[in-house]
Amino acid sequence: MKPPTVLQGKERDTIEAPPPPRKRWAPHKWIKEESLEALREKEGNVIELFISKLAEEKMRNHSIAHAAERREVMGLMLGGFYKNEGNVYSIVRDVVTTDLEASSVRVRFNRGGFEQLFESLDRCGFDYIIVGWYHSHPGHGCFLSSTDIDTQKSLFSGRQHTALVLDPIAEEIRAFYLENGEVLERCFGIYWDDYQNPYYNRAVKMRKVRSNPDGMPPPEGGLGLSKTLHENRNESVEE
């Protein structure tokens, strides 16, 4: 019997696109002051990882949900690799996970949970690349253990691939990558899309009340909520 034969391979082109603009990303609120200093130093240069607000919330909530029982959580980060002016950066748009075999010091996907994981991959709605993985160290701090480094070396050895570690108890988060076999820390930003901004493309303007149907002066400090709602329904509002 002949073993499987590789006929031909095809690489995927890295898409040329600008990263999220500076006004639409910020450092993570769990980043420690010293790491933030490093981030600030790097700000003038290039940030190589942007994580969407949606993905960040999912990872943080996942880690917090199992913090009390001190159980690690884990998942895959989906997004893509892009280049801009010769620099390559990655974007995490979403994350997926499934049932886990987890303790306070170890985590992996449950063997019976893969089909649920595949369903989540199909549901993500875009042509994803798995740009890295996340897991938590509840109460242990953020670093790559020897197991994590083995995983990074065997699965995510590319410079662009990231291992994100969260400690929901210490409220700490750090990102790591490998370069020439060495573990390095990566600065990253949390970005938000315009559609996540509730005031996208709308100016919030002061409303002027034209008349007061009850003949009563507005309460001190302005109109109460019920009054405002009433007047919004019944009176014209000048913008």
Partner 1 sequence: MPLRIRVRNAETGATVDMELEAENTVEEIIEGAAGYWEKDPGAYVLRCGKRLLRGQQTVVDAKIMDSDQLELIPDPEGG
Q: Which is nearer to partner 1, 3 or 219 (CB)?
A: 3
* Structure tokens, 225: 């909520």
Task: Kindly report the backbone phi and psi dihedral angles of residue 27, in degrees, each rounded to the nearest multiple of 5, phi listed first.
Answer: -65, 155
1 binding partner 1? (CB under 8 A): yes
4 binding partner 1? (CB under 8 A): yes
Q: Which of 17, 68, 105, 237 binds partner 1 (CB under 8 A)?
A: 105
Q: Which is nearer to partner 1, 151 or 228 (CB)?
A: 151
Distance between CA 86 and CA 175 in Å, rounded?
22
The CA–CA distances, whole Å, from 45 to 32, 39, 48, 235 equal: 20, 10, 10, 53
Assign residue 24 a region: left if phi > 0, alpha if psi is -120 to 50, beta otherwise?
alpha
Q: Which of 20, 64, 145, 171 binds partner 1 (CB under 8 A)?
A: 145
Nearest CA among 41, 82, 73 for reference residue 191: 82
Distance between CA 146 and CA 126 in Å, rounded?
33
Q: Which stretch binds partner 1 (CB under 8 A): 55-63, 156-164, 176-184, 188-196?
A: 156-164
Contact 65, 73 (CB under 8 A): yes
Q: Which of 46, 54, 151, 218 binds partner 1 (CB under 8 A)?
A: 151
Q: Which is nearer to partner 1, 102 or 190 (CB)?
A: 102
Contact 168, 138 (CB under 8 A): yes
Q: Which is nearer to partner 1, 93 or 135 (CB)?
A: 135
Residue 103 Cβ, how far from partner 1 at the closest point, in Å? 10
204 binding partner 1? (CB under 8 A): no
Q: Which is nearer to partner 1, 186 or 231 (CB)?
A: 186
Distance between CA 154 and CA 206 in Å, rounded?
58
Residues forming contacts to partner 1 in the complex (CB under 8 A) are 1-12, 72, 74, 76, 80, 105-109, 114-115, 117-119, 121-122, 127-131, 133, 135, 145-148, 150-151, 154-156, 158, 161
